[in-house]
Chains A and B, each alone.
Chain A
Amino acid sequence: MNDIVTIKGLKYGLQLTFAKGASFDDVQANLLNKLESGDSFFIRGTTVFVPKGYFAEDQNEALRRMFHRHGMLFSTELKRPNLAPPSCDTVKTPAQKSKAKVEDAQKMMVINRTIRGGQEVKANCSVLICGNVNPGAQIIAGGSIDIRGTCRGFVHAGAFGDKTACVVADRLMPAQIRIADLIARAPDEDVKASQAERAMIRNNMIIFEPVAR
């Protein structure tokens, strides 16, 4: 049942592929089920790609409408969508409710508050947080993450595989940091984070370097 649709994370969204012989109705039912069960893949604002010509035009139209209803974009062209997606402001985690502001040009979600333990921010775009990320909080972004404050939570930049994404914080001391598919854990010994740092991928490893702010 679950194999009817396979979801692959790409730099700009999600690619769907389908089991051989699966009918359009099966695919649609399967996707609707995933959407309604709040599958964590389907973050609002994400673009979903279906191979061009796989379905008939009216079938694609039906899928497009279905994804739109769930706040997602639909495309058959495998490229970065150039229409400014409603991505940033449609991501309404309760954590950032009304306060998120969009800077469409840079596709950046701005959050002017501290993210506390147990709260979660998910965004397709990059995220700027003017506040702290506390222990037990999670930030997951398709792009980069910039924290104007202290980061002690869990951060994942480039969540769709973008290895050029980075994480910057005034004091970068997360419990765990992920960029694309790489993971770095906080070392157990004490290291001071006395100045702003950037974490990024170099030679397939997450490295930290000081930055001037």
Chain B
Amino acid sequence: MLQQIISLVQRIHPAPIAEAHCDGPCGVYDPAQARVSAEAVVSMTKKILELEMPSGDDDAAMVAYQNTLTRYIMIKEDQAHETKEHILVLWTDFFKPEHLVTYPELHSIVWNLAKACSHAKQEVSLEHAQEVLDGVKHIHEIFWAVKGRDVKWELANQ
């Protein structure tokens, strides 16, 4: 009887879902996700800076230019945001208070990296894009150090 009443209430007014773990697979973290996104930010920033606006009255060339530029900007925006999200997940879900004892600067590193991601979105700045990648490298080093593993920092886009 109680189950029937609950089912009826659920149909009319579904209860929100509360998550017990907050994550997907337990303990599967890797700053490589942030590294790939950060590399994309650097790559897209370079491509935007290198893209030349067509001269003359060639409408088709101008449309192609604007289309390409828009795509580059969108990817840069998305990837900078993804980098930030990946780092924030590591910060909130992976790192524990005991890691802060060894790396008391962790909070400020994450804070500055998240800010750099925002700046990389707001501007077309190779300096900020590189700042994002450098910040992710710093997180990579701390992450693998606390796991007691020596994982080399390698870029996909050399």
- Does B associate with A? no
